Amino acid sequence: MAEENYEEAVRAAELRKKRTFRTFAYRGVELEKLLDLSAEELIELFPARLRRRMLRGLGAGASRFIKKLRQAKAEAPLNEKPAVVKTHLRSMIVLPEMVGSVVGIYNGKLFNQVEIRPEMIGHYLGEFSISYKPTRHGRPGIGATNSSRFIPLK
């Protein structure tokens, strides 16, 4: 009886040891390999909308933005986050070389700081800086209930 409990405890400990962090892969390609890919090879991995956008060209603004991100990463001290690079380019596609950068994405009112993570590759920057305040249906407000009818409005 005691021997069986010991064996179960040993098996549980082995399972805990086996648990490793899942490495990120975009469409089956790991992050290190994504960084080494050429632009043409990377375009082949993207879905049709992003392929079309990349083939038609990102534009001068996007290339200036990427240049600023590279510069901020280069100037950052080792093992620290780079300086925030502000942008209005909500339609910019998150590329593998942007991973690890800190971007201030304009939402029409203010710049939301977003740290670019590997899971964001292939998305647009605007998806991470919401430009509206979500509605909160069903919350009481003025005139929502009968009891609030008798509260003076000053």
Q: Establish if 152 belongs to a structural domain.
A: no
SS3 26: strand
Q: Is residue 147 part of a domain?
A: no
Tokens of 118: 């590997």
User: Which H or E element spans position 14?
Assistant: helix 2-18
Question: Residue 11 sits in a domain of what CATH number?
Answer: 3.30.860.10
The number of distinct structural domains making up the chain is 1
Q: Is residue 34 part of a domain?
A: yes
User: In whole angstroms, what is the distance from residue 125 CA to residue 106 CA?
Assistant: 10
**Is position 146 within any domain?**
no
Give the pLDDT confidence score for residue 136 in this predicted structure. Answer: 84
Residues 18 and 12: their CA atoms lie apart, in Å, by 10
Identify whether 63 is part of a domain: yes
Total Cβ atoms within 10 A of residue 118: 16
Q: Look at residue 145 and tell me if it is in a domain.
A: no
Residue-by-residue pLDDT tens, the chain, 154 positions: 666 777 777 777 776 666 667 788 888 899 899 999 999 999 999 999 999 999 999 899 999 999 999 999 999 999 899 999 999 999 999 999 999 999 999 999 999 999 999 999 999 999 999 999 998 887 776 666 666 656 666 6
Sign of CA dihedral 108, 112, 118, 120: negative
